[in-house]
Structure 1
């Protein structure tokens, strides 16, 4: 499913349960020690998805540990994102020469819990969602909105190192499956604050993805081979 939201050059892997073996590296297992069983299996399956993405890129697999802000520390030369929710786990990755940033999120279909939308959306954004709901009440727009902001943040933070709250981004959803997010932390960010993404809402699952192409010139990609460290991140 997630591949429907991704441009060429981004590899993906997904799973809808934890049935397949998904061994963890020792550092990952230590990180999950003491966690509930379902949380450990979700984590393990999602990491297995990430390792398949790295393998597709021709990269040796290793431990993927969270860094500052909780984002996975991908190997040098790779950008990626991981998500998991009830009934779904996925990862995406791309060479940094192709994509400057990627972010994905998965959420169960259905409305947000009462009171959450007021915490994450401005008055203007809530009016925008109300307009969308009046035109098509079959889509859980508030949950799509939440997921899209999560995906945008997951693309933004690894690329900038700037932490955002939910009110530090303004999101606009389009019924055609696209969305835009504008980041406006204080002070203003040095990076381009505009992100674009895609969303997909099924009967049980909502998926969102944000990608931003690398600004490196195409000639660089053609003449310079991608060099990726084989050392696992710590």
Structure 2
């Protein structure tokens, strides 16, 4: 592989394990990105009495750690929660006038207003006026962010909202620039077809009957989808 190279190799489960060992030797185990699971059939075959095979694998290697894989744009205008049940408990301090809210105007006493692992505990009384928390707010919860990260985000223009159900959500300052990496599962949700679609394509292209088209063909939608992972601006990204 070149320094900017990426390789995708399609294989079924009969030789997938052997191919992985071979590619680790050729390209280096450290350059293994992972394998994608492609849904190659809509209904599967009933000839096998033990398993109905629906998928194949696409192994991926690249020698450039800086290359990013693009899956889809992130939500550019959707609020994201900053409390998750898997995080450890920590306290965050929000300065006055930094939180917008859908709560009604008034004074709210300290304490827990929600239960469960995603609930938060307000450590001081606070006042809401004109849909703004006008008090300094100390909160215990399973926050994703640290205090330093929160302060930096607020300084750059990140928007924080306290929902009517006392949940903390944010719209980050650079959210419209963010993207999701591709899922390890490739199917029709990604606009990718099946072996049947590939046979139809070849039949029309070569003007042949379906039974005369060679086996194990791949749809162009699969090739296009894999190529779309690599965008030029991501090649030399740091």
Q: Where is the helix percentage greater, Structure 1 or Structure 2?
A: 1
* Structure-1-length-normalised TM-score: 0.23
Whose radius of gyration is greater, 1 or 2?
2
TM-score, normalising length from structure 2?
0.23
